[in-house]
Amino acid sequence: LNDLKYVCSNCNHTTKLDESYPRCPICNEPLNVEYIEKGKINKNSKPSDPFWVRYKDFYPYLTKDYGISLGEGFTPLVKIDYLRNKLNLANVFVKNETQNPTWSFKDRGSVIGVINALRLGYSQIGTVSTGNMAASVAAYGAKANLKTTILVKEDMAKEKLNPIAIYGPKVLQVKGDYAKLYDKSLKIGKEKDIAFINSDVPMRVEGSKSIAFEICEQLEFDTPDYVIVPTSAGGNFRGIVKGFIEFKNAGLITKLPTFICVQSAGAAPIATAYIKGEKKISHFGKTDTISPAIGNPNPPSGNEVLRLLERYNGLALTVNNDQIKDAHLELAHYGIFTQPAGAVPLAAVYKLMNEGIIKENQTVVMIATGSGLKDTKAFNYHNLTSSFVSLDDLDQVL
């Protein structure tokens, strides 16, 4: 198959692209699909084509279209003009991933993961997730008519289960240590021929590359100075970095942005290791964050994110719950309603401007990862009001 391989992100051990196990058999670190060195944008793609057709040189292993797109990707890049007055930042953009079929960027990785599962002949897929990824895999499992199993925490609330269950997968509330499920599901998947499309598997990373490709096109190939990614497992961060690198390899852009990994102060294994100058993450222990979508205390791609930050001079930082709340409301006041995780990059912009890292007139792209309606509990963080008026008084009040 185009003799592309999986390459270990840590020890460079290679395995066949037909292997479905997503981690290195030698060192257990995550695998990458080999970086693409050459390619161009398929300018003949039609508006109805999915992103992997427009960028097909960067997805050479996707030779067959199984007709399972739900219209993911090609999300807007929205300019936030208000920050020009407030911060003297004229070029701040939001990559609005809330506009995906299941309202988060996860759809990009789910669709590539499911196509890969079909390509390898799987008839069953699954994932381990409590949130956006579960809904996303369930939706694509439904579209592809595959038997789909979603493993969630035992104590998951009904209002969180229902948006997953509506797509018709088998939902299993697993009793026991949730942290062990990631590895365990991969092992069971290998034995039982279920393709587990977990948070940072290589094909999910491949899906996230398209965020970078689209940003490059939307900015007319003028690389932004900063790209800010709210990070949990690390799969999305890896994908965005890989996308920019592949476009640079191909000569479509001439420089890379500075990649910024932002985490919640109460769930910051990667940023903590980065700040301490460590090469490996440690388990963060008990987490405390209002953005559960970025709450993984032991991210499976944490070490690889650290390697990427070091190799490409990126940086990692934390923002606290109050800063996230402020950013969440502020972004909504600019017309973009995200779940708290999606607003974390705006909180990071304030912090990085205060520290003199981001400077006036630089170009910043914030990745708004998921929709506000995914986390209605977050309404409680704000003092949202309305008032009554009688029909007779309406003219006066207005």
**Residue 232 binds which entry of Zn ion, ligand PLP, none, CB below 5-8 Å type-dependent:** ligand PLP
Q: Does residue 15 interact with Zn ion by CB under 5 A? A: no
Coil/strand/helix, residue 349: helix
| Residue of the chain from 224, 342, 345, 372 that contacts ligand PLP (CB under 6 A) | 342
Residue 186 has which token pair? 């991969």
| Residue of the chain from 22, 73, 189, 235 that contacts ligand PLP (CB under 6 A) | 235
Between 101 and 230, whose beta carbon lies closer to ligand PLP?
230
Segment contacting ligand PLP (CB under 6 A): 188-196, 274-282, 316-324, 335-343? 335-343
Contacting residues for 44 by C-beta, under 8 A, at least 6 apart: none
Segment contacting Zn ion (CB under 5 A): 16-24, 156-164, 224-232, 243-251? 16-24
| Residue of the chain from 127, 199, 264, 303 that contacts ligand PLP (CB under 6 A) | 199
User: For ligand PLP, which residue has the nearest CB?
Assistant: 370
Gap between the Cα atoms of 15 and 10, Å rounded: 13
Q: Which of residues 126-155 bind Zn ion (CB under 5 A)?
A: none
Contacting residues for 64 by C-beta, under 8 A, at least 6 apart: 119
Q: Tell me how many residues contact ligand PLP (CB under 6 A).
A: 20
Q: Does residue 27 interact with Zn ion by CB under 5 A? A: yes
Q: Are strands 124-128 and 226-230 parallel, antiparallel or unpaired?
A: unpaired
Contacting residues for 221 by C-beta, under 8 A, at least 6 apart: 252, 253
How does DSSP assign 198-217, residue by residue? -TT-HHHHHHHHHHHHHHHH
**Residue 26 binds which entry of Zn ion, ligand PLP, none, CB below 5-8 Å type-dependent:** Zn ion
Between 69 and 231, whose beta carbon lies closer to ligand PLP?
231
What is the nearest approach in angstroms of ligand PLP to the Cβ of residue 90? 26
Q: Which of residues 80-99 bind ligand PLP (CB under 6 A)?
A: none
Between 11 and 275, whose beta carbon lies closer to Zn ion?
11
Q: Does residue 233 interact with ligand PLP by CB under 6 A? A: yes
| Residue of the chain from 22, 39, 189, 234 that contacts ligand PLP (CB under 6 A) | 234
Residue 216 has which token pair? 């490059």
Gap between the Cα atoms of 384 and 386, Å rounded: 7
Cβ atoms of 170 and 149 within 8 Å: the answer is: yes
| Residue of the chain from 6, 7, 8, 262 that contacts Zn ion (CB under 5 A) | 8
Residue 20 has which token pair? 């479905």
| Residue of the chain from 56, 95, 106, 209 that contacts ligand PLP (CB under 6 A) | 106
Q: Tell me how many residues contact Zn ion (CB under 5 A).
A: 7
**Residue 24 binds which entry of Zn ion, ligand PLP, none, CB below 5-8 Å type-dependent:** Zn ion
How distant is the alpha carbon of residue 362 from its chain centre?
Answer: 24
Gap between the Cα atoms of 223 and 388, Å rounded: 49
Gap between the Cα atoms of 310 and 260, Å rounded: 11
Q: Which of residues 344-373 bind ligand PLP (CB under 6 A)?
A: 369-370
Between 101 and 370, whose beta carbon lies closer to ligand PLP?
370
Q: Does residue 104 interact with ligand PLP by CB under 6 A? A: yes
CB atoms within 10 A of CB 220: 6
| Residue of the chain from 9, 110, 132, 263 that contacts ligand PLP (CB under 6 A) | 132
Segment contacting ligand PLP (CB under 6 A): 58-66, 118-126, 235-243, 388-396? 235-243
Q: Does residue 141 interact with ligand PLP by CB under 6 A? A: no
Q: How far is CA 328 from CA 269, 286, 300, 346, 370, in A?
A: 22, 24, 27, 8, 12
Main-chain dihedrals φ then ψ at residue 93, nearest 5 degrees: -125, 150
Q: Residue ranges of the alpha helices (H) in the chain?
A: 51-54, 82-87, 106-119, 132-144, 158-165, 181-192, 202-218, 235-249, 269-276, 302-311, 321-333, 340-354, 394-397
Cβ atoms of 234 and 201 within 8 Å: the answer is: no
Site residues (CB under 5 A) for Zn ion? 8, 10-11, 13, 24, 26-27
Site residues (CB under 6 A) for ligand PLP? 104, 106, 131-132, 199, 230-237, 293-294, 339, 341-342, 369-370
